[in-house]
Structure 1
């Protein structure tokens, strides 16, 4: 089972992203446990309980950048969406996938597909 955490301070947006991720895994016929959180302190607590396979950070402006830099140990497990173009910072922080908002199902599908292509070490089927 895949363990996915979505970190987004905007609850309606977070729920929408959780739906996109759920749809993606259903289409791939894979089981996933999907949880949501608002910010870095909450994410940190969730990560300590169970190490996620994928963390999707979809926070706006500097909040997202702060979460990404705080979650440095998870950097290779992060998909990052932001309202600002932090592409260079994402590259420097070894984040496998970055895109700007708004997040559509097509962007989420592309992000997850690309993530799994560049993360063969995950080893799940």
Structure 2
């Protein structure tokens, strides 16, 4: 089962992102447990309960960067969407996938496809 948490302060965008993830999992016949949160304190609480396989951070500006730098997770678990170009920082922080907003199904599909390939190579 794929467990996913989406952290995005914009509720409409968070719901759109969750729907894209659900669609991807349906199309790839993957079970999914997905939930959303608005900010770092909510995400921190969710991480304390159980660590998801994938974390999407889609917060605007430096708020997203701050959320990612506060997490202390194994490399390659984070997919990051931002309105600012944090590509270099994403690379340095070992983010599995970084892309600029707006969030679209195609971007989510590429991100989860890349994550899936990385996950398969770790299990070999």
TM-score for both structures, normalised by structure 1: 0.93
Q: Residue 101 of structure 2 aligns with which residue?
A: 101
What is residue 26 of structure 2 aligned with on the other side? 26
Name the structure 2 match of 1:80. 80
Superposed CA RMSD in Å reads 1.3
Q: What 5-or-longer segments of structure 1 have no aligned partner?
A: none
Q: 1:45 to 1:60 in 2, by over 3 A?
A: same
| Cα deviation code 1:56-107 (max 9, x no counterpart) | 0000000000001011325420000000000000000010100000010000
Question: Equivalent residue of 2:73, what SS?
Answer: helix
Normalised to the residue count of structure 2, the TM-score between the two structures is: 0.94
Aligned to 1:56: 56
Matches within 5 A, 1:6-45: 6-45=6-45
Of 28-37 and 111-120, deviating more is 111-120
Aligned residues: 123
Q: CA deviation at 1:121?
A: 6.2
Shift in Å, 1:115: 1.2
Runs of 4+ in 1 over 4 A off after TM superposition: none
In 2, the alpha carbon distance for the partners of 1:97 and 1:72 equals: 17
